[in-house]
């Protein structure tokens, strides 16, 4: 088999090879860039979904209370205990903790530890009612339920709520 390489064939094959190499050198970086932009778009899309959920959550849970000053903390405790009394909650003890400002939070908070005694359904109604307090803004930070055979059908609950305070009230 004889292959003839005339000048025209060599130039044509060389031109095709150069064109393929040039095309590959331009297209490969573009594909890499498209991949990076695609992952950035996915990250932004997830962030947008998260922001939409936060906005929808804010719309569902309208703020009904106020930010309290340090002098008015007793209003929050009073309001919580009155709400609890309406829902058959027995407050064994209530202990305000040290005011702090959590990292990333705009407002200082006062954690209040409470030891409660109630029935399950009353506790559930009470926890749900805490959302609608009028004098203060609070969140339930944690709770732990313990069944005690001696007081059944009632349960013991350790509950920590955080009362939000006005800026500058963390002293």
Residues 47 and 95 in one domain: no
Residue 127 in domain: yes
Is residue 170 one of the residues assigned to a domain?
A: no
Find the angle CA(76)-CA(169)-CA(85) to the nearest 5 degrees.
5
Pick the last residue of a domain from 15, 36, 60: 60
157 and 115, same domain (yes or no): yes
pLDDT of residue 57: 57
> How confident is the model at residue 60, as a pLDDT?
47
Looking at every residue in the chain, the average pLDDT score rounds to 82
In CATH, what number is assigned to the domain containing residue 92? 3.30.70.60
Run of H or E residues at 156:
strand 155-164
Residue 65 belongs to a domain: no
Residue 62: what pLDDT?
Answer: 47
Digit-coded pLDDT (tens) for 85-111: 999 999 999 999 998 888 877 888 889
Q: 3-state DSSP call for residue 104?
A: coil
Pick from 157, 128, 154: which is nearest to 145 by CA? 157
**E-strand spans in 51-151?**
90-96, 109-118, 138-147
Question: Does one domain contain both 89 and 158?
Answer: yes
User: Stretch 101-122: mean pLDDT, rounded?
Assistant: 88
Q: Is residue 102 included in any domain, yes or no?
A: yes
- What is the share, in percent, of the chain residues with pLDDT greater than 70? 87
pLDDT value, residue 166 = 80
pLDDT tens digits, 27-52: 888 888 888 888 888 888 887 877 77
Residue 100's CB: how many other CB atoms inside 10 A? 13
The reply to whether 76 and 104 lie within a common domain is yes
Q: How confident is the model at residue 116 (pLDDT cuts 50, 70, 90)?
A: very high
103 and 133 share a domain? yes
Strand segments, DSSP code E, in the chain are: 90-96, 109-118, 138-147, 155-164
Domain enclosing residue 55, as ranges: 1-60
Q: Which of 9, 29, 60 is a domain's end point? A: 60
Q: Is the pLDDT of residue 114 over 60?
A: yes
CA distance 127 to 150: 24
pLDDT (mean) for 71-84: 85
């Amino acid at each position: 088999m004889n292959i003839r390489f005339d000048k025209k064939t060599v130039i044509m094959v060389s031109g095709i090879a150069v064109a393929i190499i040039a095309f590959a050198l331009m297209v490969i970086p573009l594909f890499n860039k498209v991949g990076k932009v695609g992952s950035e778009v996915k990250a932004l899309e997830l962030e947008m979904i998260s922001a939409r959920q936060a906005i929808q959550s804010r719309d569902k849970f309208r703020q009904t209370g106020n930010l309290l000053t340090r002098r008015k903390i007793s209003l929050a405790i009073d309001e919580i205990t009155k709400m609890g009394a309406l829902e058959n909650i027995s407050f064994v003890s209530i202990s305000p903790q040290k005011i702090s400002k959590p990292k990333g939070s705009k407002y200082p908070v006062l954690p209040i530890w409470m030891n409660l005694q109630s029935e399950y359904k009353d506790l559930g109604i009470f926890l749900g009612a805490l959302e609608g307090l009028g004098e203060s803004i609070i969140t339930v930070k944690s709770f732990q339920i313990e069944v005690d055979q001696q007081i059944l059908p009632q349960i013991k609950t350790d509950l920590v709520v955080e009362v939000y305070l006005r800026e500058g009230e963390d002293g």
